[in-house]
Structure 1
């Protein structure tokens, strides 16, 4: 059975989505998501309402409108790495401290899913909880767990929880 790579990244915005402090982030969501969707190896993205400039920000976690999630599926590690570190996405990643609060817990997780599977947000949050509790395992992991992942070693920003 062919497997694809799922990833969940969550963050807590420093302000509501209509606040000027997060305007640049919100104004570029559709642009960045569009680049991701056009990348070779992109498979699927959890979608929001489709309202321009909102991305998937209405998928609130624990009912908190500032706690947002990005959930995608990719054919392989290299496809996700190329999008994250090899496109303009990286410039926005580097600016994350402007828009997101410092998170005290792990906020990113990847795991393998069967081809054709579209994970739910609940499933993804369960994987994140596993990684928070158990560290990297075959069921929930970060970049370092993946032997074939290379770009994060030279392109990632300095480690921090945000």
Structure 2
């Protein structure tokens, strides 16, 4: 079985998105989403009819924004997140978002062809927060190989 990488990240906006403080973020959103879609290894991202996910609520706090996507590999996602224009936006996040005291990004493997649910995303964040990095939910700092790759590497050790 082949696997793909699901990722969820949340951010707490300093103000509602229609406020002037958030204008710089909102103005870049469409471009950054399009950049993700054109990036090597991109498969899917959560979006509503407006083309983004900022109105989709994962938690009760209306200022918590969710981003959920699927990538072919950890390397593909890492290349997108930590290079080019996305990195520039990432470096400016403190202008628009408050630091969270809980896990704000979780990664997990899903069977190829499946899409992650909001419930699975919430569970991955909770799992990472409560248990630390595991095969069920991990981070860039403590990644886990896809299950099919684990099985192959375990056989090679025997």
Name the TM-score, length of structure 2 as normaliser: 0.87
Output one character per residue of 1:88-126: Cα deviation in whole Å (capped at 9) or x when no partner.
Answer: 000110111111112111111000000011101111011
Offset at residue 144 of structure 1 (A): 1.9
Alignment of 1:137 onto 2:134 = yes
Distance 1:41 1:92 in 2: 20
Provide structure 2 residue ranges, at least 5 long, that are not aligned to the other structure. Answer: 146-158
1: CA distance between counterparts of 2:11 and 2:143?
A: 23
- Paired residue for 2:21? 21
Counterparts of residues 52-131 of structure 1 (less than 5 Å): 55-131=52-128
SS at match of 2:82: helix
> How far does the alpha carbon of each residue in 1:57-90 deviate from its partner, in whole angstroms, 9 at most, with x for none?
1112333321110000000011101111122000
TM-score by length of 1: 0.85
Distance 1:133 1:146 in 2: 16
Report if aligned partners of 2:10, 2:105 keep a CA contact under 8 Å in 1: yes
User: What root-mean-square deviation, in Å, do the aligned CA atoms of Structure 1 and Structure 2 show?
Assistant: 1.4
Residue equivalent to 1:30: 30
CA distance in 2, matches of 1:145, 1:61: 24
> Which SS does the other structure have where 2:141 is aligned?
helix
